[in-house]
Structures are given as structure tokens and as C-alpha cells.
Amino acid sequence: MSSEIEQMCIAKGMRMTDQRRVIAKVLSNANDHPDVEEVYRRATDIDSRISIATVYRTVRLFEEAGILERHDFRVESGENRARFELVSEMHHDHLIDIEGGEVIEFHDKEIEELQKKIAEKHGYKLVDHRMELYGVKIR
Amino acid sequence: MSSEIEQMCIAKGMRMTDQRRVIAKVLSNANDHPDVEEVYRRATDIDSRISIATVYRTVRLFEEAGILERHDFRVESGENRARFELVSEMHHDHLIDIEGGEVIEFHDKEIEELQKKIAEKHGYKLVDHRMELYGVKIR
DNA sequence: ATATTTGCAAACCGTTTGCAGCAAG
DNA sequence: CTTGCTGCAAACGGTTTGCAAATAT
């Protein structure tokens, strides 16, 4: 059976190679926000004939096709790797545990509404936004 | 007369070189959000004996001293340069014109409050956040 | 058959760093 | 005098790319 992303690719008329199928599967199954290295690890685990260059090309392709969303979370270690997740029907933002690294997804209608209003107040139509909350667990 | 940033540096006991003084002045006078190349341009305009390496070292120093804030605005051209601004007494977020590139600062108490609540609802203490609105001018 | 994709390694770009000389305290 | 700063050029790390071979359609 083909993965969720593979279906989307087919729907968009993309040429499906073994590599793309594997990467599509890895990303479809991910419920975290892996970076390219991690996708590469998981993909080569399934099929070793995949190069990191192809992973880079493929996540970019998927992103441009509106299948994946790219994030640049600010992270303690200062490493600057982009992380990816499947675009979901429901838009959401992220709360990042700066100690543990976990990422919690949330959606707040009220904030979204306020953001739109702020843009309008300044004479702008809001076309995108980025909101990341950074926190530490209360124990 | 010494610039706002220079005063802060002195207050923190930093060794003041000509290069640092010039860079401090450039950043104190900036009311935009220049990247390193732009700071370098403005600085060498005043005194050509400044290298880009020193600009990099100095903005990092100022950032770590809590004098500057670093931003990584998402930008159409895909270029990934960090941009800097003097930390202001009043915290604010940014509305970025994705066409013109202008950056508008704003502050919304209500959103800040909601962000804190969201973090708490998930068992986190909010320690930082990043909120950028991307818009197009309504003509 | 042809157009697209791949792996490889080299290039890229923003940023950092080792080092020897220079300047601040 | 000592410690820290600078310029230079080389290294870095994540990402992209030119190319010839391999593959999808």
C-alpha cells in the first residue's frame, strides 16, 4: 500500500522513483518533526540506495508542492537544520521544550484572529505567520 | 560623544577598541534591522580598518551581552542572513512586508497573555517566543 | 526513446576560528 | 607587561548543484 504522501505525489503527476516512495513513506509515518539527516537515517534504514542529496532534493520538491512544511526552530545547540512535517488540514503552531526538545502542536483561534487584525491595522493583508513558543516544563 | 551601545559596553566593562566603537555607533543609529553585511558596509564607511570577521564577532558579543537581538526573518530571496536590532525596553514583535521588505514593529498585550496561557495549559513556563507576521500592503 | 532523477563530489554561502601581530588596560 | 582584540585566510556545516549514468514513463 502506498503512503499518504505518495498518493499526493501521484495526484500531482510526479514521477515516482523507489527513493521518492521511501522518503514519502518515512515522512508520512513521522509524527515528529525530523530534519534531513533524520529522514535520511530512516530512509536508508528501509533502502540503503538513497543518498542525502536525494533527500534534500525530495523534501524541497515536497515542500514546493505544498506537501511538507519547513520549520527553523531556534535550538539551544545552535545547529541550524530545517525540520519538516506533513502539512495538515488544520493549521497549527508550535510550543518547543527548550530542554527536552519535544514539540507540542497547538492552535488558537483567538490569536490567529488578533494577528489578522494587527496586520490590517497597519494596512497589510496577513498572508503568513510564524509563531513559536519556547518553554520549560513545570514539574 | 559615545553611542548608546558604547555606554552599555563600558558599563559592562568591555574593552573598547576603535572597531567596536564604530560598530556600536552604527547599530545605535540604525532604526532598521540590518544584517552583518549591511553593518559592515556602514561601519567601513566610517572607518575602513574594520574586517567582516570583526563585525561577526562584535554582533555576537553584543548579542550575548543582551545588547542586541538577532532575527531570522523568512525572506523571499531565500537568503539566510541574520538581522540585528538594539534590544528595546518594550518587547515587540514584527510584521514583515514580503514584497517591500519593510519591517513594522508592534506589541500586543493580549496575544502575549494568550501565549503565556497556552504554554501553561500544556504544563510549560513560557521563557521566549517568536512571532512574525508576513503580509502584503493593501493598496 | 526521451525526459527526469539519481549518486557523487565539488561548490556554495553565511558564519566561525586558528594564528601571529597589534592595541587596551 | 599582560591580556584580549584584530585581520587574514582557511575551515565549518547545512544545503545546493554539475555531471554522467540510471530509471520512469
- Kindly report, residue by residue over B40-56, the tens digit of the pLDDT: 999 999 999 999 999 99
Give the mean pLDDT of A44-54: 97
Cα(B122)–Cα(B46) distance, rounded to whole angstroms?
50
Amino acid (1-letter code) at residue B48: S
* Nucleotide with the nearest C1' to B77 CA: C13
pLDDT of residue A72: 95
User: Which nucleotide C1' is nearest A51 CA?
Assistant: C7
CA–centroid distance for B24 within its chain: 13
CB < 8 Å to B98, chain A: 127-128
Q: Where are the alpha helices (DSSP H) in B2-51?
A: 4-11, 18-29, 36-46
pLDDT digits (tens, 9 = 90+) for A117-137: 999 999 999 999 999 999 999
Report whether pLDDT(B78) > 80: no
Q: CA A5 to CA B56: how far, in whole Å?
A: 41
Confidence of residue B80 (pLDDT cuts 50, 70, 90): confident
CA A2 to C1' C3, in angstroms, rounded, equals 25
pLDDT at position B22 is 98
Contact A126 B134 (CB under 8 A): yes
The phi and psi torsions of B119 (rounded to 5 degrees) equal: -60, -45
Distance CA B40, CA B80 (A): 17
* Number of helices (H), then strands (E), in chain B: 5, 5
Tell which wins on pLDDT, B86 or B101: B86
pLDDT over threshold 90, residue B101: no
What is the pLDDT averaged over residues B71-92?
91
- Over range B22-34, report the average pLDDT: 97
Helix, strand, coil shares of chain A as percentages rounded to 5?
Answer: 40, 25, 35
- Report residue A91's pLDDT band, with 50, 70 and 90 as the boundaries: very high
In the predicted model, is pLDDT for residue B77 greater than 80? no
